[in-house]
Amino acid sequence: MIAVVTGTAVIGGELFLEGCNTPGSELINGFSEKDIALLDEVAETILPKTNTPGAKDAAVGVFITVMVNDCYTQQDQQVFREGMVLLNDACQNKFNTDFMKATKEERHALLLSLDNEAKAYQKKVAVFNNEQNEKEQEEFERGNLAFKKSFMSSHYYTMMKQLTLLGFFTSEKGATEALRYVPVPGRYDACIPYHKGDRAWA
């Protein structure tokens, strides 16, 4: 679901499935309280509180820091951390204020523009990475086993959006209050009536 929404596979997903144990991740220090506060506000702008909990209610900011430190490669960690600075710079350029001081409307407009920027960038990433995969296959067929393909990292906002969605919908708040939660599934229903506005199942 997250891959569909953000237009790319979940970044760090392979390490997440392996238990999030990236060698050398301890070389990058933990996030500051200001960093976590910024991530909370970014996440809350993506998933604001309405009649259901918002991202801050699920402590998504803390979740994001754990995932970045434990599940991202060092290259992606650097892109993410630099992205936090770039996001704030973009807010300064667009509204002449820091993200933390921006209004809800300004934050929403900023993230909408970053989302469009990220989607365009992810298309370039996909093309580049596909070309590298094809080149690797060609070199392998030629017997060149020493070839090492390059990768383009994803856009920092794509990372933030993915981790916000993952953190919220796997949290207790998100799974039980934003989604319809059934702890012990009952019988299999092949066809269930859907009404506009119905929540998805956890």
Query: What pLDDT, in 10s, does the model give residues 157-188?
Result: 999 999 999 999 999 888 888 877 766 666 66
pLDDT at residue 193 greater than cutoff 50: yes
Residue 8: what pLDDT? 60
Separation CA 162–CA 164 (nearest Å): 5
Taking residue 127's Cβ as centre, other Cβ atoms within 10 Å add up to: 11
Pair 55, 166: CB distance under 8 Å: no
Residue 28: what pLDDT? 36
Instruction: Read off the pLDDT of each residue in 18-44 and give the average, rounded to a whole number.
Output: 72
Separation CA 202–CA 52 (nearest Å): 14
Separation CA 151–CA 82 (nearest Å): 18
Percent of the chain whose pLDDT exceeds 70:
80
**In Å, how far are 28, 59, 105, 152 from 181, measured between CA atoms?**
37, 19, 32, 38
Using CB atoms within 10 Å of the CB of residue 77, give its burial: 0 to 12 exposed, 13 to 18 middle, 19+ buried: buried
Longest dimension (CA), the chain: 60
For the entire predicted model, the pTM comes to: 0.74
- Which residue is listed with tokens 């997903």? 13
Residue 130: what pLDDT? 92
pLDDT at residue 106 greater than cutoff 70: yes
Instruction: Read off the pLDDT of each residue in 19-46 and give the average, rounded to a whole number.
Output: 75
Domains of the chain, by residue range, sit at 70-163
Separation CA 153–CA 176 (nearest Å): 33
Assign 21 a pLDDT band (cuts: 50, 70, 90): low
For Cα atoms 11, 14, 20, give the angle at the middle one, nearest 5 degrees.
95
